[in-house]
Amino acid sequence: MDRDPDHKAWMSLRLSRVLDDIGVNRRVVRKRRDTFLLREAVETITDKISGSNKTNFHFGSQSEGSTTLGMNSDIDLLICDNDTNIMSDWLDWEAGMQNFLKVKEESTPPQHYWLQWIRHDSPELVRYNGQEHYLPHIDGRVFVSNKGWQDLGKREYGNDFRCSGPSVSFCEEWDIVHAYKCKVLPPEVDRWFHRPRRGHWPTPEMMQAARECSCFLVPDGHFESLNENIEWRLSPSQIERILVFSFTTVQLKCYVVLKMIKKYIMEQYLSHHSKLTSFHCKTVMFFTIERISREEWREDRLIGCIGYCLQTLEFFLMKGYCPHYIIPEVNLFEGKITRGYQLLLLGKIKENLNNNLMILYDLQYDSLGQRFRNPTTDMFETRSTICRKINNALAGDLIKQVNIRFLDMANNELNPEQYLRLFTVLSIIPEDDYIIHILTRYERRVISVLKPLIYSFLASVTSSFYIQHELQFTQEIILFYERSLDTDVTSSRLKLASMLYCRGDFRRAADVLNNVERRYDDNVHAVRGCGRRFRSVEPPELLSEKIMNDWNFDTAIQKVAHFVRFTRFEVFCVPQILLYEMNRAVNDDVQFRDVTERRWMDMAVVDSRPYLFYLQYITYGKLGLRHRQVQAHRNLINCFRNEDMINTMHHPETADNLLGHCWEMEGNLLEALRCYRNSINNVPRNNAANWHIRRLRAMF
């Protein structure tokens, strides 16, 4: 007699294989988690170097590894302000800090608090006196509005401003939430540690790790509250991440499929006014894993496990109540899904439970349904191809994020405190036992990643000062340049060559440029590092098959050509034509810069390849090597004739400006004018070509 009449074991193994193929496997999940934990450390450390006392956390599907390429998941970032002290009682008050006291009234909804202003110089309440009319106040007590970060975001992001719940962002790809950290575990979270449970999950080790986590207050009031603008929602995101990180591969596969089903049902049956979210799916997973024996979570029972999860959701929909896993007084359906849509959803869940989850064949994300029907067809990308795409995207985004964060840091006004913080990072020795004890492995890794960038920046800033004042170069400056060469294949070496040219050491500049040209072979790829999206291209193939499953930042950076950037502190290490790039605005152009452009538009920023050829042109000209100068000019022209090179340029308008200047030096002003006009056709506003055209018109 057939013990598996519905062939669920066979279907489960096939589905598991399909999920392996599209990137839901142990290696990819581990790499996603490692990458985003490293990004957390990058963002936190660069903030601290800049003087901003914040801690960054990546929560959500990207950092969990519970996503695929086809699901197009956004990036969730929580930024915790460490300069604010959240008091549970008066004993928590700290002098000199911004102190807020957590307040809970009878009318305050579950999971929410009010934050009352407390004086920073003495443990006393800030009282409403009629002058602070912009502060929310009740009965003479002054409270913190949860709209502050929204107001700041509107001013900072302008037309790019986006807001959804507590999230404030500048693009659809990011969900950024600002938060405060609770000093102690709130009582509603502490009760979770003592509630009865079956015992096998969460494990005692997980519970101990969860006890050491922080909880956050995010600016999100209850949708039905009369005091919504002063309510702050409690978020135990760190605890939830520990729970998700404990998922087995089978449980993670189940979670991904559950989110795909959710996404499909949302698109097909629910209106945009109702919202079944990934957090609902996560909550369903938590309750299901707790009640189902660990022996059930096997690859050959994957279909059944998905069924268990849908049964949990079915139960919640029947009751009209989806309890928060850690704070069960909260109904997660409230404000998200109306009762009418809950019943519609309940019918769809029952229908799929009764037809052996035929909905799986309809899921189009990553062609899962088609792969499930026929996993061996040649029309699909192979597992290795998808794995390569995911790893290249992770590597490219990590490199981009490191550069963006360093760009933000270096673009700030340099002051003695920031210099001291930069040198403090350089003085850290990873092998030091004390450092190993106080830093996480991700923080130690970030410091080693940042050191070459810091050396490059400090070398160029110091050199600019020495050139300006005609001082003799010291050995320390040369040492800085030597230690900066591992930033990538090209940019630090091009900055060295640029300094040598401006110093008048043309022979050594030519030697460095020749070295860069030899290194810049077909295996080196230009990557975005300023946040600009000039062209939409596939992530570059940074990783070879040999290191695909075991890459790190060092192996990825060996295939990367960053753009070259110069701040205003480095002007004497920059050829004069690039100084126009630091003043590119004409008339009201500054008003037309988006949030990413404001990071770099007061710098000189140029792609490595065209800058290499431009530097060669002017250097060979100084050396009187006309034949090589002509070849460098041709190479620069070819950058605009080669489609692959054009597609990897992120600042083509600047490259056009450099080519135009070469034509000027050749005496062909009409061709120079054509280059500057091409530059403006690419980027009409905030383009130094507008100044160059005015220069040329004055010559005619």
Q: What is the pLDDT of residues 612-663, one digit of tens each?
A: 999 999 999 999 999 999 999 999 999 999 888 888 889 999 999 999 999 9
CA distance 23 to 70: 10
Q: Does residue 561 belong to any structural domain of this protein? A: yes
Q: What is the pLDDT of residue 272?
A: 67
Mean pLDDT of 340-358: 92
Q: What is the pLDDT of residue 676?
A: 96
Q: What is the pLDDT of residue 385?
A: 87
Residue 316 backbone class (left: φ over 0; alpha: ψ -120 to 50; beta: rest): alpha
CA distance 24 to 499: 48
pLDDT higher than threshold 90 for residue 63: yes
471: Cβ contacts below 8 Å, ≥ 6 apart: 465
pLDDT higher than threshold 50 for residue 1: no
Q: Does residue 541 belong to any structural domain of this protein? A: no
Q: Does residue 11 belong to any structural domain of this protein? A: no
Cβ pair 436, 444 in contact under 8 A = yes
How confident is residue 535, by pLDDT bands cut at 50, 70 and 90? low
For 477-530, the pLDDT digits (tens) are 999 999 999 999 999 999 999 999 999 999 999 999 999 999 999 889 988 777
pLDDT higher than threshold 60 for residue 132: no
Give the lowest-confidence range in 127-131, 147-151, 518-522, 627-631.
Answer: 127-131
Distance, C-alpha 435 to centroid of its chain: 26
The neighbouring-strand residues paired with 372 are none
Amino acid at 244: V
CA quadruple 26, 29, 32, 35: dihedral, nearest 10: -50
The neighbouring-strand residues paired with 80 are 55, 179
Tally of residues, the chain: 700
For 223-261, the pLDDT digits (tens) are 889 899 999 999 999 999 999 999 999 999 999 999 999
Q: Does residue 520 belong to any structural domain of this protein? A: yes
CA distance 575 to 564: 13
For the record, the structure tokens of 491 come out as 């940019």
CA distances, 53 to each of 81, 115, 119, 604, 643 (Å): 7, 20, 20, 29, 45
DSSP 107: T
Instruction: Please write down the HEC assignment for all residues of 457-484.
Output: HHHHHHHHHHHHCCCCCCHHHHHHHHHC
Segment (H or E) for 605: strand 604-606
Helix, strand, coil shares, percent, the chain, to 5:
55, 10, 35
How many domains does the chain contain in total? 2
CA distance 232 to 221: 6
285: Cβ contacts below 8 Å, ≥ 6 apart: 244, 247, 251, 254, 255, 258, 309
Nearest to 202 by CA among 328, 296, 327, 290: 290
Cβ burial of 151 (10 Å; 0-12, 13-18, 19+) is exposed
Name the packing angle between helices 441-468 and 416-427 (round to 10°). Answer: 130
For 187-198, the pLDDT digits (tens) are 999 999 998 887
HSE (CB half, 13 Å, CA atoms) of 133? 2
Mean pLDDT of 405-417: 75
Give the lowest-confidence range in 25-29, 180-184, 403-407, 536-540.
Answer: 536-540
Cβ pair 469, 585 in contact under 8 A = no
Three-state SS for 119? Answer: coil
Q: What is the pLDDT of residue 420?
A: 83
pLDDT higher than threshold 90 for residue 154: no
Segment (H or E) for 218: strand 216-218
From 202, 235, 268, give the residue that closes a domain.
235
Give the lowest-confidence range in 140-149, 175-184, 546-555, 649-658.
Answer: 546-555
Q: Does residue 284 belong to any structural domain of this protein? A: no
Q: Does residue 201 belong to any structural domain of this protein? A: no
Q: What is the pLDDT of residue 378?
A: 66
pLDDT higher than threshold 80 for residue 429: no
Residue at token pair 């106040």: 137
Segment (H or E) for 678: helix 669-682
| Helices (H), ranges, 355-382 | 368-373
Give the lowest-confidence range in 278-287, 440-449, 659-668.
Answer: 440-449
Q: Do you find a cis peptide bond into 202, omega within 30 degrees of 0?
A: yes
Instruction: Please write down the HEC assignment for all residues of 552-593.
Output: CHHHHHCCEECCEEECHHHHHHCCHHHHHHHHCCCCCHHHHC
Give the chain's mean pLDDT. Answer: 90
pLDDT higher than threshold 60 for residue 360: yes
pLDDT higher than threshold 90 for residue 22: yes
Q: Does residue 42 belong to any structural domain of this protein? A: no
Which residue range is the domain that position 562 belongs to? Answer: 384-531+549-699
Mean pLDDT of 52-77: 94
385: Cβ contacts below 8 Å, ≥ 6 apart: none
Q: What is the pLDDT of residue 632?
A: 98
Q: Which residue has the higher pLDDT, 159 or 198?
A: 159
Q: Does residue 442 belong to any structural domain of this protein? A: yes
pLDDT higher than threshold 90 for residue 368: yes
For 82-104, the pLDDT digits (tens) are 999 999 999 999 998 999 999 99
Q: What is the pLDDT of residue 492?
A: 96
